[in-house]
Structure 1
């Protein structure tokens, strides 16, 4: 697939490897800033042009989490056109291999991510486990268990195998992920649920609060799992 840019949304906790991933695919060591606001970067892999939208990890307060969700919405708007937000072709969820299972707040992370994407977008989602360059006694067994667990909690709703990748802070690892998106047919693209919903609710903070992801943030805080991304 060549021609139009392939737009990928990167989501994950603080320190989960998003910035390292971008550095690996862009080859830059100086132009990638710590993520405190959404930023977009360009990369080329196997003849395909990518635009990567990096997002900050959400904090432990619902008000701050909603502000970051609003930042994501407004970034999609700014990068879009008069016709609406920029079309997102895929989303990557980052998780540290050293974090173990998806429980507590980590499960809440995934629930918000699901509400950003929606079920129809599921086949455009990729899961990346990071920190494979760090020594870990858990190793491949833990990676496989995490991959299987994530598929049960999310990918079972429609996507197939081959959508989980290890990332060891190497360019070849990151490029494999983007090549996966590049090899897919863009005609399969569906719109992010979040982008659909803000067309109706608006991009204000109150409008973002009314989206599925916004409601999930508030519900998670009520359940006591406030630390999301």
Structure 2
């Protein structure tokens, strides 16, 4: 184990027989080559069976790789290898490069996680392997090694509990010395295996899981405070840099929340609500038919644009204008609902009821419901223009526009209106669920917990928010492009 880029895979390549060299992926940059647990097995000349295991670092920055995922990989592997009450694990190798003048935050996090995974009783089976000696002078190397060995913040606690330090010089001999030393040890049971297998703990409740959980919580608090500062700075302003920073912070918070959820093993918050809450608990998914029907309507207008102009140009332009306004409003609503979803997720994670009231004071959901209602009214006004135009055309026959074309466009417009009305009603259900939480949540300042049913409903609301954002996140640009092509 060890940070990304310290030479774990290089050490393994030096340790395994030549016929296994090609199987070991060795990176030549700060980007990790190891994305999964990779065991390498061979038999020594005296018949000893050896399995040397490469692991990803806890600081892997690649998309999809999180500290929680790495912890799960390593824990699952160790538990699977345990085989009942008999352990075959004889050594744990922590790799650190001597070229680093100081141990940075990523390296310290890796070391902390290593300690929590192994535990005090397994320290006698730990070898701290120093790499990249050929990239420092002898004096600098010896000085840094002594600092690492003597610091209470670095390797001294491990050494005090029985760990040892070795140097790897990129040679099979120096790697073999480490392997031979480990093979002379009795097997050990790392702390995380003891906790999961013998004590029956969930991963999130182990020492390593708790450590990771607390670090993620600290980062969430930090980024949430940054978000509040950005919101305050953005009030009354339109600053591109601040908007971009807020979006970046949003993404970081969302990533941390996903990692917390993953650490909990996918266990949902709360249980199904008790009898009597069925109408609140099952919020339906938002309907995406409005986008399809809007596109269909715009397609009809575009197809018959030449026959609508010049006498009926107000029809085409009104539809295009309404659609562009609708697309802009929905785009803004998605941003607001995404931010509200993050707020609720933080609230659920902290389970602090006092954080509910600022959220209740926001008009995010009523404003979004109003967005759909306004769009419905705007499009309804367009449909009234259609009706009067069709009636006038039927009587006077002066527009030179086929009545069947106008009726087809009118029918499509009414479908869009029905979709908008349905979505406005959907938001009324969401707002009703929020009011239910408000009505069933204690108001006393000293009470911080949510009642069980309120927790369930809040989770349903978060799911509804996320579904809405997913459904309408990318529609605005497409609708605007089509609408602009329909104007006469």
**How much has 1:80 moved relative to structure 2?**
4.6
CA distance in 1, matches of 2:134, 2:216: 33
**Counterpart in 2 of 1:64?**
66
Cα deviation for residue 20 of structure 1 reads 0.7
Give the Cα–Cα distance (whole angstroms) in 2 for the partners of residues 121 and 64 of structure 1.
Answer: 25
Query: Any conservation in 2 of the 1:91–1:124 contact (CA below 8 Å)?
Result: yes
Among candidates 188, 191, 194, match of residue 190 of structure 1: 188
Deviates more, 1:121-130 or 1:217-226: 217-226
Aligned residues: 205
When normalised by structure 1's length, the TM-score is: 0.77
* 1:138 aligned counterpart, secondary structure: helix
Distance in 2 between residues matched to 1:165 and 1:71, nearest whole Å: 26
Distance of 1:45 and 1:130 partners within structure 2 = 24
Quick check: 1:148 aligned with 2:140?
no
Specify which structure has the bigger relative contact order, considering alpha-carbon pairs within 8 angstroms and separated by 6 or more residues. Answer: 1
The answer to whether the 8 A contact 1:116-1:192 is kept is yes
Distance 1:14 1:154 in 2: 21
Q: Which residue of 8, 13, 16 corresponds with 1:18?
A: 8
1:138 has 2:140 as partner = yes
Paired residue for 1:3? none
Mind listing any 5+ residue stretches in structure 2 that lack a counterpart?
26-32, 223-255, 257-488
What do the CA deviations read for 1:144-190 (whole angstroms, capped 9, x no partner)?
Answer: 3223334423222x216xx1011121111111111111233x2xx33
Superposed CA deviations along residues 116-146 of structure 1, whole A, max 9, x for unmatched, are 0011111111101111132447222222322
User: Any idea what SS the aligned residue of 1:159 has?
Assistant: coil
- SS of the residue 2:150 aligns to: helix
SS of residue in 2 equivalent to 1:98? coil
> How many angstroms does 1:217 deviate by?
1.4
Q: Does the CA-based 8 Å contact 2:2-2:107 persist in structure 1?
A: no
Q: Name the CA shift for 1:90/1:192 in 2 (closer, same or farther; >3 Å).
A: same
- CA distance, structure 1, for counterparts of residue 13 and residue 91 of structure 2: 19
Map 1:24-103; keep pairs closer than 5 Å: 24-26=14-16, 27=18, 28-33=20-25, 34-44=33-43, 47=46, 48-58=48-58, 59=60, 64-81=66-83, 83=84, 87-103=88-104
Contact 1:17–1:130 (CA under 8 A) maintained in structure 2: yes
| 1:18, distance to aligned residue in structure 2 (A) | 1.0
> Which residue pairs with 1:6 in the alignment?
none
Q: Which residue of 1 aligns with 2:211?
A: 216
**8 Å CA contact 1:78, 1:85 repeated in 2:** no
Question: Cα offset for 1:24?
Answer: 0.7
Residue in structure 1 matched with residue 111 of structure 2 by the alignment? 110
In 1: Cα distance, 2:145 partner to 2:101 partner: 9
| Counterpart Cα distance in 2 of 1:159 and 1:46 | 29
Check the 8 A contact 2:38/2:55 in 1, yes or no: yes
CA distance in 1, matches of 2:43, 2:100: 31
- Between the aligned partners of 2:102 and 2:15, the Cα distance in structure 1 is 28
**Structure number having the greater strand percentage:** 1
Instruction: Name the structure where helix makes up a greater proportion of residues.
Output: 2
Compared CA separation, residues 140 and 74, structure 1 to 2 (3 A): same
Q: Out of 151, 157, 162, which is 1:159 matched to?
A: 162
